[in-house]
Amino acid sequence: MKPSKKPLEFVMTAAFANHYPLFDHKIVYLWSKFWSPEPIDMYIFEPIEDGWIQLKVNGYNLDTEEYIETKNIGKIQAQANKTFWLKIDDYGDKLIGTFLFPEDY
């Protein structure tokens, strides 16, 4: 089975949860549209204007192990006031996606 087809669970660091206590799960839904065509292990969410987040990738394709340099892949309409990451790790039988701030990595 391709790694990107494994079950994916989401967690967040304590710092992320404290900063975004009412995390908008719409972000996960909007992000998922970018996951299927390009399952990368690191996504960067950067607020760019009121109500919009620039989504970038920088990491390895989980299925091909090809390294992808930082590149913009789209914008999502959601609120954020601080850049954050979604780091996805393969735990064998499942993937864990961790929402965190760059300084927490």
Give 43-64 pLDDT, tens digit per residue.
Answer: 999 999 888 999 999 999 999 9
CA angle in degrees (0–180, nearest 5) for 35-100-2: 30
Question: What pTM did the predictor assign?
Answer: 0.93
CA R_g for the chain: 13
Q: How far is the C-alpha of 46 from the C-alpha of 87, rounded, in Å?
A: 14
Q: How much is the pLDDT for 61? A: 96
Closest CA to 18 of 76, 104, 86: 104
